[in-house]
Amino acid sequence: MRIHVRAPATSANLGPGFDVAAVAFELWNELEVTEGDGPVDEEHLGVRAFSRVASPEGLSFRFVDRIPRERGLGSSAATVALGLVAGALATGREASADELLAAGLDLEGHPDNLAAALAGGVCLTWDGKVVRIADDLPAAAIAVVPRERVNTAAARAALPREVRHADAAFSAARAALLGAAVAAGDPRLLAASADDRLHEPYRAVHAPHLAAIRADLPDGALGAVLSGSGPTVVVWAERERSGEVAATLAERFPEHDVLHLPVSTSGAGPL
């Protein structure tokens, strides 16, 4: 038996879509499962996910990691998705994104990244449901990735238990703009949605370049959002000027990696 699968990087929230919206990118982790008699690291997140669907006994697992860890690009969600999809293939049955999300949700902790990793494209998730609402975004995505890492659990713990009504209304309006932007394919609406008061203000301490980019957007850039819990920032750019935007960001932030990340129309699946 040989199973070879891949799962994409993801960016959750997309600004105001807190715990609901995410997008998959063309940056992939891989898993190869073969027969083997060696020891299995049953504590590995991907093996634990595999075990939710099939027995890992007598198998060997080889992971290839390309997604930066603890940078807000869904590395843990990709690992969980790899295990879930490989496990389903090992059993010889097809499983829906909803089924796999339910099987792995407590391993990932929150659904948005995992939903996009499983389904690809731009996704919404709520009450255990996954819906891919678009194959692409109305702008190019340029990721500014610091070397520093942010622990997702710690970043979530930093969020307040209550928010002001005005802040909730502000973010609800931007979330509506985000949905409208994706539905209409309108970059102007996407630019208008690029702000949040539910989570970004409390996580921005680990991503000071978010405020710096917003204060002086490069020519051709539409807006900037925190990717997941950070510290990566995703800059929306006019497609025809995305190379120019990436070059400007690389010049301004030489200590960071600047990645042009096309949206992936595929979620986790076999190679």
Predicted confidence band of residue 36 (pLDDT cuts 50, 70, 90): confident
Judge whether 6 lies within some domain: yes
Token pair in block for residue 175: 């979330």
Q: Which of 107, 134, 161 is the last residue of a domain?
A: 134
Same domain, 97 and 175: no
Judge whether 235 lies within some domain: yes
Residue 163 has pLDDT above 90, yes or no: yes
Find, among 224, 211, 247, 217, the residue nearest to 139 by Cα.
224
β-pair type (21-35, 59-64): antiparallel
CATH number at residue 36: 3.30.230.10
Same domain, 117 and 150: no
Residue 158 has pLDDT above 90, yes or no: no
Same domain, 83 and 101: yes
Same domain, 16 and 41: yes
Judge whether 125 lies within some domain: yes
DSSP state of 266: -
Return the pLDDT at 41: 92
Query: Among 52-56, 193-197, 204-208, 222-226, whose mean pLDDT is lowest?
Result: 204-208
Q: Which of 99, 134, 169 is the last residue of a domain?
A: 134
pLDDT digits (tens, 9 = 90+) for 58-83: 999 999 999 999 999 999 999 999 99
Same domain, 194 and 130: no
Same domain, 255 and 156: yes
Residue 267 has pLDDT above 90, yes or no: yes
Return the pLDDT at 38: 79
Average pLDDT over every residue of 231-250? 98
Q: Which of 113, 134, 155 is the last residue of a domain?
A: 134
Same domain, 16 and 75: yes
Residue 94 has pLDDT above 90, yes or no: no
Same domain, 35 and 83: yes
Return the pLDDT at 88: 97
The domain of 240 spans: 140-260
Average pLDDT over every residue of 17-22? 96
CATH number at residue 146: 3.30.70.890
Same domain, 63 and 93: yes
pLDDT digits (tens, 9 = 90+) for 213-226: 999 999 999 999 99
Same domain, 61 and 126: yes
Give the number of domains in the chain.
2
Predicted confidence band of residue 237 (pLDDT cuts 50, 70, 90): very high
Q: Alpha carbon of 265 to those of 92, 116, 133, 135: distances in Å? A: 24, 10, 11, 5
